[in-house]
Structure 1
Amino acid sequence: MAVDHSRATAPVEVTDDPVDVVVVGAGPSGSVVTHTAATAGLSVVCLEQGDWVNPSDFPANQPEWELLIQHDWAHDPNVRALPSDYPVDVTDSDMWPVMFNAVGGGSLFYGAEWPRLLPSDFRVKTLDGVADDWPISYNDLKPYHDEVDAFIGVSGLDGDTAYPDGLEYPLPPQPLGKPGLKAVEGANKLGWHWWPGTNAIPSQKNKTLEQCGRWGVCEWGCPQGAKASFDLIYMPQAQQVGARVETGARVRKVVTDDAGNATGVEWIDRNGTVHYQPARSVVLCANGIGTPRLLLMSADDAHPDGLANSSGLVGRNLMLHPNCTALGYYEDELESWRGPAGQLIHSMEFYETDPSRDFVRGAKLHALPTPGPLNVIEAHRTDLDFDELWGEPIHDVARSASRGVLWAANTEDLPEEHNRVTLSADQVDSDGLPAPKVEYTVSENTWKILRFTVDRMVEAHQAAGAARIITQELWVDQPGHLLGTARMGDDPAASVVDSYGRAHDVANLYLADGSIFVTSGSANPTCTITALALRVGKQLVDDLQGKDPS
């Protein structure tokens, strides 16, 4: 794409009307904060560098959807290279961060798996002697979880035995389907914990979300408009109460005054015009890559190492949840094109530290269907010889798509300061702004979890009678969980924000996305991100309305 380097330093041409709150990023956290502030009567503008996406435009509306997701709808922004994207320098990274810039953000592509972190996740230092404890607990976050779940219409079965008492959901769970029942068969034979999948996909119509149509293509955009992508839930309700969403708005800097307070942000529109958006408070919701990037780009004479970075931790402790899989094919007809995908069941059997193992922490496992014949052919490409896959045999391989079950797992990724986001010295986006550079190495502890977990998932398939099992020890482009790069904490020397997302160094600057995680757990994080965003948003409202500080 054409690069206009002058936009990176061009003077402000337009000053927009001042607002109470400017939110940067319209993904899950940005949508929740925008809605929370607007509902309280504050004037809010949300700046999003992407666009609105119509569900009818998603690739799964077309028969050739598996071809369409190879480029324009690819999960990797370096492959898509759309006007709304920015490149990510991954020359020194074991994994490629997955993200999507649009209203709804990464939730357009997520599987809407909706588990909460477990109580132990908040006390890893205390329990296991590694990483750090969060400044909040499971119980502190529970009421915010409950409120978000009720608003979305989360589907799940009450009483998951992996969690404390009191875990309830507003809607019944999705059907297990034949793939889910096959996964249950293996888990039961092995005596594992399992539970019907909890998904942010309504099993009945809820507000602006349709009932799940079981298309099975959740991770490539829901054509039904049923999945809780946040362009369909929270953001429309925020607009109804007065919030303004500005698309095609690439923020280049958070502006501060001589007193060290944020006064607003500078942003570039699609025509190259530079705007200044004044605001009483600034909230960054640009994900665990984009938020540290923006803080580092906001460096000036008063903040030479980047904004809110007196601790030196902005960009550090990146956690990506390395993902592993075991794909099993069965003799049974399983109708594996049916969704959600989205988890059918999950297992927390290996979630916690077990002293008998040679690693700490663990993994969250989940079973999914396997839609798409090309997906199946690709999976077999590393497992079959040429003559077994191509030519006449390709038809049998493609037909096996309906007989598959995918066991997959997020592995807990402990924070390490050398895993970090900096600014690339070589790559820039189309406005000449420096691309984020990701430096990330999978730790030896994580490799041990990955290998152990793959073996367990193979056992599950074997117990259920799989005819063929194909494993992948590390998905380098999954799962798009971007965490930890501006962590919360009580000590300003050891964290970037407090437990309410308020920057220690800038009183009216808030962070509300996955960057504020202290540890990653191994549960899919969007559920926790949105609960944290609600907590941050309510504190923001209290602060601006002059209520007693927390």
Structure 2
Amino acid sequence: MSADPTQQTDTHGAAIEHDDSVVVIVGSGAGGGTLAHELTARGVKCVVLEAGPYLSQDDWVNNEWEAFGQMAWLDVRTTSGAWRITRDFPNLPTWIVKAVGGTTTHWAGATPRFMEHEFAAHTTYGDIQGASLLDWPITLADLAPYYDRAEQAMGSTHRHGRPPLPANNNYTVLANGAERAGYTYYATGPYATNAEPYDDRPGSIQDGFNFQGDKHGSKWSTLVREIPRALATGHLDLRPGCQAVRITHDDAGAVDAVEYLDAAGSLHRQAARVVCVAGNSIETPRLLLMSDSGRHPRGLANAADQVGRNYMRHLTGTAYARFEQPVRMYRGETMAGIVADEARHDTSRGFAGGFYLETLALGPAFLASFIEPGAWGRELTSWMEAYANIAGTWIVGEDMPQPGNRVTLNRDVQDQHGLPVPNVHYSDHPNDVAMRSYAYGVADQIYGAVGALAVHHTPPYPSTHNLGTCRMSADPGDGVVDKWGRAHDVPNLFVSDGSQMTTGASANPTLTIVALAIRQAEHIAQELAAGNL
């Protein structure tokens, strides 16, 4: 491991741990890292507890399976439900990162905004049987200025005068097919990897290896931008290797501390004025459920039995097309372009909501593992032999929230600390099935228009877009947090990641998580200054 800048602080000193004036943030990814940056820039003292190590660009390796083992959250989890993940990857329902920077260090970088109607899903789609649709308590107009700030912070291409990334072959194949199939809205972004130097980050060298880690540093992550800037203020105490295990509260019901295990397994207690949980949509509800008490017998902030419910993971699937001539999809950026025409809401297609098609390139080892889990013989080798001639696109679409899709504590299985593991239960809604089937047909049409010899439909991978489980709601009976991400039941507890999303929309979630975190930080700072927190 490279030199750790957090070592400048006595991270477990008694004086620090008893300082009840700090904001404790659990997690350092898109939500937690952004929140830390925004608050410390305003002079607010923060402690960030990150379960994973502090890895740097020097530590990352350009080898997909080695990088996976280096970065992925591989703690024990269990899976249930009718989704195929239960069969293919029962111990890996989600594919996220356990390290400083969180999953912003492992993401493809797409930054589309949610659309206006997606903030009013129930009003727009109506009552859909089996779905627990709800309108967000905020609108696109409320979030628009924060989208602007997030795009500028992340350096989104195609936005605010930022130039686009150059097209690679994988995108050119998709774009040509989209044009011939009658589509209009396709481009090489928006994408949070620099096409040219910006904000102290270099331009992309199109090396094809920035998906898991980015040794070149052109892709935005909180590890690269927000965490170093927060540390530079002197107001951030960053503690890697520290797993939060419980949030405690005082007799009045306000949270007062976070208990956590350090890398050696020793238990600590960090006092807090405010606690912000940003552990991803799996670990966030797990922590709240483990923080039960006499006042909160079903778990912290869970009076309405909503913590863990309405888990969403985005409708996904991949189409790989085989051509007579080489494509070499692995050259250039992993996420090299987007087709947006189908992101609209149009029930004539047989489903509510919409989806994007986004280029995707996997290396040979990942492709062999994910193209058709369990496949063997010619079914698999015919595709692997044609690796250089393959183009790939990923389907990203809105899945329906369902109260039964949820994260719970599996008390029959324990992790390395002896704690109950999260169980992720998920089954597709019929709307999801209809959308995925239609989207596969669109991919067939696009690739067929440019002469594909065959198109293979790959089932969903372990989830990378984990959403919901602590959703925003106007009515405390419908969700966990209010429009600021503040828990309905607990006055100084916030949720600061994708868990708070009321619905999933069709767009990749990272931009929205960052925008919400900027907005939340502004609110928390104002409330602290006013003495309301």
TM-score by length of 2: 0.89
Deviation, 1:371, is: 4.9
Alignment of 1:188-199 (within 5 A): 188-196=179-187, 197-199=189-191
Alignment match of 2:112 (pick from 93, 96, 115): 115
**Cα distance in 1, alignment partners of residues 394 and 491 from structure 2:** 41
Q: Is the 8 A contact 1:363 1:410 kept in 2?
A: yes
1:484-528: CA deviation from partner (whole Å, max 9, x where unpaired): 111112211212111111111111111110010011011110110
SS at match of 1:143: helix
SS at match of 1:58: coil
Q: Is the 8 A contact 2:64 2:212 kept in 1?
A: no
SS at match of 1:456: helix
**Cα distance in 1, alignment partners of residues 379 and 409 from structure 2:** 46
**Cα distance in 2, alignment partners of residues 33 and 172 from structure 1:** 27
Alignment match of 1:439 (pick from 425, 431, 452): 425
Alignment of 1:469-480 (within 5 A): 469-472=455-458, 474-478=459-463, 480=464
Map of 1:467 onto structure 2 = 453
Q: Is the 8 A contact 2:150 2:515 kept in 1?
A: yes
**Cα distance in 1, alignment partners of residues 176 and 261 from structure 2:** 54
Map of 2:320 onto structure 1 = 327
1:25-75: CA deviation from partner (whole Å, max 9, x where unpaired): 011110111011101111111110101112233231xxxx24425x61475
1:244-278: CA deviation from partner (whole Å, max 9, x where unpaired): 11011111111110111111211111222211111
Question: For residue 201 of structure 2, what is the amino acid of its counterpart?
Answer: L
Is it true that 1:495 corresponds to 2:479 in the alignment? yes
Gaps of 5+ in 2: 1-11, 86-92, 128-132
Map of 1:89 onto structure 2 = 78
Alignment match of 1:540 (pick from 524, 528, 531): 524
TM-score by length of 1: 0.87
SS at match of 2:169: helix
How many pairs does the alignment contain?
A: 505
Alignment match of 1:57 (pick from 53, 56, 59): 59
**Cα distance in 1, alignment partners of residues 373 and 489 from structure 2:** 50
RMSD between superposed Cα atoms in Å: 2.4
Map of 2:281 onto structure 1 = 288
1:133-156: CA deviation from partner (whole Å, max 9, x where unpaired): 111111211111111211222222
Deviation, 1:426, is: 1.6
**Cα distance in 2, alignment partners of residues 382 and 43 from structure 1:** 47
**Structure 1 residues 481, 379: closer, same or farther in 2, change over 3 A?**
closer
Deviation, 1:326, is: 1.0
**Structure 1 residues 255, 388: closer, same or farther in 2, change over 3 A?**
closer
Is it true that 1:254 corresponds to 2:254 in the alignment? no
**Structure 1 residues 89, 386: closer, same or farther in 2, change over 3 A?**
closer
Alignment match of 1:175 (pick from 166, 180, 203): 166
Gaps of 5+ in 1: 1-11, 157-167
Is it true that 1:450 corresponds to 2:436 in the alignment? yes
Q: Is the 8 A contact 1:208 1:232 kept in 2?
A: no
Deviation, 1:208, is: 4.3
SS at match of 1:540: helix
Deviation, 1:288, is: 0.7
**Cα distance in 2, alignment partners of residues 484 and 382 from structure 1:** 27
Is it true that 1:126 corresponds to 2:118 in the alignment? no
SS at match of 1:245: strand
**Cα distance in 2, alignment partners of residues 381 and 128 from structure 1:** 33
SS at match of 2:58: helix
Question: For residue 90 of structure 1, what is the amino acid of its counterpart?
Answer: T
Tell me whether 259-268 or 173-182 shows the greater mean CA deviation: 173-182
Map of 2:66 onto structure 1 = 68
Q: Is the 8 A contact 1:285 1:512 kept in 2?
A: yes
Map of 1:216 onto structure 2 = 208
Question: For residue 72 of structure 1, what is the amino acid of its counterpart?
Answer: G
Alignment of 1:364-443 (within 5 A): 364-368=356-360, 370-375=361-366, 386=377, 397-398=384-385, 400-443=386-429
**Cα distance in 2, alignment partners of residues 17 and 74 from structure 1:** 32
1:150-205: CA deviation from partner (whole Å, max 9, x where unpaired): 1222222xxxxxxxxxxx33521111122212211111111113232211111122
Question: For residue 87 of structure 1, what is the amino acid of its counterpart?
Answer: V
**Cα distance in 2, alignment partners of residues 384 and 318 from structure 1:** 29
SS at match of 1:288: helix
**Cα distance in 2, alignment partners of residues 294 and 68 from structure 1:** 29
**Structure 1 residues 403, 375: closer, same or farther in 2, change over 3 A?**
farther
Q: Is the 8 A contact 2:71 2:97 kept in 1?
A: no
Deviation, 1:451, is: 0.8
SS at match of 1:455: helix
Q: Is the 8 A contact 1:154 1:198 kept in 2?
A: yes
Question: For residue 468 of structure 1, what is the amino acid of its counterpart?
Answer: A
**Cα distance in 2, alignment partners of residues 436 and 388 from structure 1:** 35
Question: For residue 56 of structure 2, what is the amino acid of its counterpart?
Answer: N
**Structure 1 residues 148, 332: closer, same or farther in 2, change over 3 A?**
same
**Cα distance in 2, alignment partners of residues 32 and 293 from structure 1:** 22
Map of 1:515 onto structure 2 = 499
**Cα distance in 2, alignment partners of residues 385 and 415 from structure 1:** 35
Question: For residue 459 of structure 1, what is the amino acid of its counterpart?
Answer: Q
- Fraction of identical pairs, as percent: 31
**Structure 1 residues 223, 500: closer, same or farther in 2, change over 3 A?**
same
